[in-house]
Structures are given as C-alpha cells and as structure tokens.
Amino acid sequence: CKSFDTSDFAEENSLADARVHQPKIPLAAVDASTVPQLELDPGNWWSHGRTWSEQRFSPLDSINTSTVSRLGLAWQADLQSHRFGIEASPIVVNGKMYVSSSWGRVFAFDARTGKKLWMYDPKVPGAWARQGCCKPVNRGVAVWKGKVFVGAYDGRLIAIDGTTGKEIWSANTTDSKPWLTITGAPRVVNGKVIIGNGGGDYGTRGFFSAYSAESGELLWRFYVVPGDPANGFEHPEMEMAMETWNQDRDWSVGGGGNPWDSFAFDPELNLLYVGTGNGGPFGSWNPAGGDGLFLSSILAINPDNGRLAWHYQTTPGESWDFTATQHMILADLEIEGRRRKVLMQAPKNGFFYVLDRETGELISADNYAYVNWAEGIDMTTGRPILTEEANFENQARLIFPSAYGGHNWPPMAWSPETRLVYIPAREYGFVWGSDRITWFMTGHDVSTLTDRDLEGKLYGQLLAWDPVLQRAAWTVKFDTLTNGGVLATAGDLVINGSEDGYLRFFNAKNGEQLHEIFFGTGIIAPPISYSVGDEQYIALGVGWNGPKAEPLGPDTTSKYSNAGRLVVLKLDGSEVEPADKIQLQPFMRDDKPQDADLIAEGVARYQQHCAICHGVVGEDTVVPDLRRMSQGVFDAFDLIVLQGLMEAGGMASFGDVLDTEDTKAIRAYLVDWAQRSRKGDQRPFPYDAESQKKVPKLSVPGA
Ligand SMILES: O=C(O)c1cc(C(=O)O)c2c(n1)C(=O)C(=O)c1cc(C(=O)O)[nH]c1-2
Ligand SMILES: [Ca+2]
C-alpha cells in the first residue's frame, strides 16, 4: 500500500488521542453542534454507518487480532421476528442502543446489560407484506435531539421519544400508495430527517423527502424520475431528466428509481448523497426508452433546499435491476499525488466507482465482479460500454452480475488504516429475457439458454478492494452465495456474517481467518462495535431474510430456527449457543397423479405470486415450504389465499388477483412437487420440454 502519504497517519494518530477523552453526549443533545464530538468518541455508533461518512469503521481496538478468539456472549435479545430477516444496524449513543426489526419495530436497550428499556411497534397491517419485493425488513433507525426515527414498512416515518418509547409524530410519506414501502434507515442531516422508499420493481415512481425532525412537517421532496409531462414538473431537475425519457411512454406506470437504501452526508460540503434504484417494472427492457435519469445514479443534493448539485448515472437505460442504492463511503484518498475527497460505491452492476464528491467527476471505475454486460467504463464519457450480451430485448440472455448484484445492500466497510474497502460481494448470473419463464429461474437450467458455463462463477466472497489501484488486495471465497454486511475495526479486524449462520473474523491486512462463531441462524445484517466504560462490544442482528432463489446454499435455514435476535459479544463473555434446531414437516402425502395442464398453470401462478416469499426451490425457505403443508392448511387453502385468514402474520389475501381456479392449479402443482420431492426430484417444476411448453408466460408480480 504505497498510495497514500504518511502525513495521513500523523493526523489520524492525533485524532486517536483526542478520541479517548470525549465528553459523553446524551441522546437529548445529539444535533449538528455535537456530531463532531459524537463521532470522535469511539464508544458511539451514532449514525447508520457510525458516522455521516458511512465508513463502518470502529476506532476501538481491545478486540483485535490477538484477543478475538476470547470473544463470547455479553447479552442477547429477542427482536420478535422469525419470518423475516434482521437487516438493521444498531445505533449506540452514550451506552444506550436503538435497533429495529421487521415491519419497523424498534427496541431500546441498555447497551451494557441488555436490559430492555422500551419497544415500539408501528402496527403495520400484515397485508402490507405483499406490497414489496423483499419482505418487510428494516435497516435501522436514526437519532436526533432525543428522538428516534424509523420508517415503517407501510410508508410512515415515525418519531419516537427516545426516553419513553412513545410516538411523537408520524408522517405518511407515501400517501399509502400501493407497492411503495420503506425498508431503509432514515438519516438526519441538519435537523432534517431524510427518507426514501422501495417499489421500483413494481413500476412505482421513486422519490425521497426531508421532514422536520422537530415537527414532522414535509420540507422538500425530490422525485428520482419524471412523471407524466402533461402534469408539469415538480422541480427543475425533472425537466432536465425528461429529456432522457421517451415522452410517449405509458406514464400511468412509474419508472422506478426508488432510493430504498443508501445515503451519506458531507457536512463541510453540505452535500447529501443519495443512491437511486433500478428502472421499473422489473424485467422490462429499457423502461425509460433512453438513459432515464435519474435511474441507478448517485445524486449530490443540497439538504437545505433539496436541489441537485451534481449527478452521476452508473447504468444509463437501466434494465437489469442494477440499482445504485448500494452503500456509499466518503473518504479522502491520495490519487496521483493529489488528496481527493471521494465517494466510493460498488453498486449491483459489478463496477467499483470512485467519484470526486465535490464535483461528481468520475475518477476511476473498474469491475470488482465478473461482468458480461459491459466491456468497461469509458473514462471520457463516464458511460459503460455495453456488450451484445447485455441486450435481452428479443432474446433471453444470461447476464453477469445477477439481479442480486455483484454486491447488494449489505454494507461494505472502509479501514482508514489498511486503506481498503471490504465488500460483501458475489459472483452470480441471472437469466433475463422476454420469451421465457425467467425471473425465478436464476441459476436453474440455464444450460438450455446459453452455452456459457456457470461452473466456477457462483460464489459469495469477501473482497478487500484497493480503491486507488482499483484491484483486490485479497479475497476470501465462501461456499455460500450471500454474506452479510461488514465491519472493519482499529483492532485490524474485518467481521462478516453469512447465510450459513457463522460470524467470521479476518485479519484486515491479509484476509487470514482468525476466528468464527456459529449462531445457527443465517446472518445478513452488518455488525457494529461500541464501548461502555472500558469494555468493547460487537453487536449484530441475526435472522435470515430467506428464501433464497439460489441453487447453492447451506441447509442452516432448514435445520435451525430463524429466531431474529440481537447478539452482543465481548471478550471473555459466555458461550454462544446456536439457535434451536427445528424439525421439518414431512412432504404432503397425497399420491394421486395431478393433471398436467393444471400443474403447468399452477407453476405459473405459484412463481408469479407465491415464490417470492415461499421459495423458488423449496428447501431453503424460512417462510413455510408449501410442499410440507399440513392437511389443515391444505383444507383451508382458499380461506388463507383468497380471504386472508392468516393476514396478521404477513400472509395477505390474494383474492384480488387469484380465484378458485387459480388456487386449484396451485394446489395441484404443490401436490405434484411434493410427490416428485419425495422421490428425490426437488426441482421446482418438471424440466422436460413438453411440461415447460405448457407453462403460460409470466408477468411481474403486482405489475
Ligand atoms: O427496486 C426497488 O425498489 C427495490 C427495493 C428493495 C427493498 O426495498 O428492500 C430491494 C430491491 N429493490 C432489490 O432489487 C433487491 O435486490 C433487494 C434486496 C433486499 C433485501 O432487503 O434483501 N431488498 C431489495
Ligand atoms: Ca430492485
């Protein structure tokens, strides 16, 4: 690592001294004037990525490469979430922790003892579970002047009293429009709560908004994509964006762009950075009919008035679910002899971008994952150079990276000491196309579509990326496809959980694995670190957001309970007990052969409406595997599916899109699938050409 000069370290060392003696800031005093002290105090993790720069680096070092093997349990707490994953980053200020779980439930704990201080439930109606792609998860809360802010899944932004846990105000950010949901964590910038939404995959129109932290009043809103030009433009940036859209498109369908996860803030430049989402609806070829600003872009916004300072579009004409909502890290790098204030992102599309965060200038871009949709990035235009293989308009294509991304939302981390970015990445392809049952078929039977060999291009990895040299310093390959968010620490540790239920500790310098702890339950959330007194803690949510549409994958999710919980570790703590083992119910025992046409119809209906939660390939799911239905559930199938009998738990009624003919077909398919599974063929549907031909063409759920 020769790419930075040592004066960086001199500065950082004097910072390290300053850190130790910071006065404690209580939650009530968290505001713009105390943020510098909050960030210097290594005991805090006051904002989503610890600081506004979202580096996810803890300056604490008593848990380090030599002591890590002594880690044990400090305390753990139930987060009341079994069906849906835990994705939140806890916030810790002055020895108190605030963390969210599914639907937007919030818990406050004494960070040393684990004593529960309060719990807030936004009581989102269970039927809302149907209104999003990826289940009612929540990535965390934000704090400001004694309040805790959370985005509930149904679109409400809620301010909670940090002392009592009582609601102070609530703002309906989406007017309860269908298919708009909140999964991301808010950020608070200069007294304004910033919140986005998800829904682009269903063809909503994405936007983000700023609310007064004090009163909940809407201060400004920025639409990511234009609406019907007949209705005028809400703000000047929409007029500019319109030039990149086909004006004759169907404006009743929003174009996506939903900013469902990442923000960062530079207080010196007074710029808020926003990562925007893909073009919608999912699976449509170039829904914008042009570059489609501001799809899959990084936006720099003046938070005082919501006006755009600059933008960089990672994926013009976005068609592959290549969101740029992935985590953005702000840091200073020495590049070609100049100290640059940069923003770094590894969006789904497989390229690692280094931008000048003052101006938006593209400094460098190189692929961190295998990519076949673009040859590279043209450094004069900043645009990707598309390949023939990218175009699935008239023909199905196997495209790398997949819609899950070379890297998805689980956040990466930056260590100012090793000068490396640690990315929870994966190698994976996805079949896109208009003439096939595609979107659930990921990784299955792709050999019939293309001769490209998937072998060797399917794995998850932890990638230590040198952003100056734009190349990997080291990589660790996993047997599994999906690993969780990452934490880097001054103890020279990089910490990363995985879907196989292990939390692993690596040497930040070389990737050597130093230690691992087994939780039984799959991990997707990022760990954080904080201290109370002299004791350093590592905290993380465990809870798998299954199912996985993947051919790989451990059987952890089918063997252990998916009990969503917060786990806190410390040196010389007690032994970590894995989650309880569970017993899988047997496959349905009905032996009657089912009608082939009915099965084919059932395949289409199941994949269209059920698979997204109940599983594409069966076995792997933490939402009930329907091949294993009890007779009671089978008999009540129509009551559940068409009338919402189990709505409270998140199984909404589908009575508006399915009828009794459909449920008959779905049941026939499930019975057939259970029969085949019992005989050892677990594949989601018969792969012979005759059976496949019968399956009706699918459309995107909800669209
Ligand atoms: O287009 C969208 O609006 C949107 C929203 C979300 C979300 O809100 O969770 C995800 C995605 N897209 C998406 O593409 C994706 O891969 C994804 C994964 C997850 C998750 O929580 O695991 N959410 C989302
Ligand atoms: Ca998406």
SS3 at position 461: strand
Cα(438) to ligand 2 centroid in Å equals 16
Are the C-beta atoms of 68 and 506 separated by less than 8 Å?
A: no
DSSP label of 562 = -
675 lines ligand 1 (CB under 6 A): no
62 phi/psi in degrees, rounded to 5: -75, -25
What pLDDT does residue 11 have?
54
Please give the positions annotated as active site. 321
137 lines ligand 1 (CB under 6 A): yes
Give CA torsion, residues 478, 480, 484, 486, to 10 deg. Answer: 0
326 lines ligand 1 (CB under 6 A): no
Q: Which atom of ligand 1 is nearest to the CA of 201?
A: 1
d(CA 295, CA 387): 20
Cα(381) to ligand 2 centroid in Å equals 26
The HSE-up count of residue 226 (CA atoms within 13 Å, CB side) is: 27
d(CA 456, CA 274): 34
d(CA 645, CA 399): 40
Structural element, H or E, at residue 157: strand 156-161
DSSP label of 446 = G
What pLDDT does residue 618 have?
67
What pLDDT does residue 458 have?
78
270-279: string of b/e by CB count within 10 Å (b at 16+)? ebbbbbbbbb
Q: What is the CA radius of gyration of the chain?
A: 24
599 lines ligand 1 (CB under 6 A): no
Q: Which atom of ligand 1 is nearest to the CA of 278?
A: 1
Place of tokens 């093997």: 69
Are the C-beta atoms of 53 and 329 separated by less than 8 Å?
A: yes
First to last CA, the chain: 49
Cα(104) to ligand 1 centroid in Å equals 16
Question: Which among 156, 132, 86 is positioned nearest to 410, based on CA atoms?
Answer: 86
Residues of the chain whose pLDDT is less than 50? 1-10, 434-453, 549-552, 699-703
What pLDDT does residue 546 have?
64
Neighbouring C-beta atoms of residue 45, cutoff 10 Å = 26
The HSE-up count of residue 9 (CA atoms within 13 Å, CB side) is: 9
| Structure confidence by residue, pLDDT tens digits, 373-412 | 999 999 999 999 999 999 988 877 888 998 889 999 999 9
CA 393 centroid distance within chain: 28
DSSP lists the bridge partners of residue 167 as 160
What pLDDT does residue 375 have?
97
Q: Six-digit token pair at 569?
A: 């570790």
d(CA 634, CA 630): 6
Ligand nearest to the CA of 257: 1
Cα(203) to ligand 2 centroid in Å equals 10
d(CA 667, CA 675): 12
Q: Which atom of ligand 1 is nearest to the CA of 348?
A: 16
Q: How many residues are listed for the chain in this entry?
A: 703
Q: Residue ranges for the binding site?
A: 87, 139, 183, 278, 321, 348, 408-409, 610, 613-614, 651
Structural element, H or E, at residue 334: strand 328-335
Nearest-CA residue for ligand 1 atom 8 is 198
Are the C-beta atoms of 295 and 282 separated by less than 8 Å?
A: no
Cα(229) to ligand 1 centroid in Å equals 28
> What pTM does this model have?
0.93
DSSP label of 544 = -
87 lines ligand 1 (CB under 6 A): yes
The HSE-up count of residue 448 (CA atoms within 13 Å, CB side) is: 11
442 lines ligand 1 (CB under 6 A): no
577-590: string of b/e by CB count within 10 Å (b at 16+)? ebbeeeeeeebbee
Q: What HEC string does 270-286 produce? A: CEEEEECCCECCCCCCC
- Which of 183, 276, 482 has most ligand 1 atoms within 8 Å of its beta carbon, as the pocket-test mutant? 183
Ligand nearest to the CA of 547: 1
d(CA 179, CA 206): 11
Contacts of residue 521, defined as CB under 8 A and 6 or more positions apart, other chains included, come to 501, 542, 543, 544, 556, 560, 561, 562, 563, 564, 565, 578, 579
What pLDDT does residue 4 have?
37
Contacts of residue 660, defined as CB under 8 A and 6 or more positions apart, other chains included, come to 638, 642
396 lines ligand 1 (CB under 6 A): no
What pLDDT does residue 183 have?
97
What pLDDT does residue 620 have?
59
Ligand nearest to the CA of 133: 1
| Structure confidence by residue, pLDDT tens digits, 19-40 | 666 789 999 999 999 999 999 9
Q: Residue ranges for the binding site for Ca(2+)?
A: 278, 321
Are the C-beta atoms of 135 and 129 separated by less than 8 Å?
A: yes
d(CA 552, CA 563): 22
CA distances from 484 to 68, 151, 368, 498, 507 (A): 19, 21, 17, 5, 17
CA 81 centroid distance within chain: 17
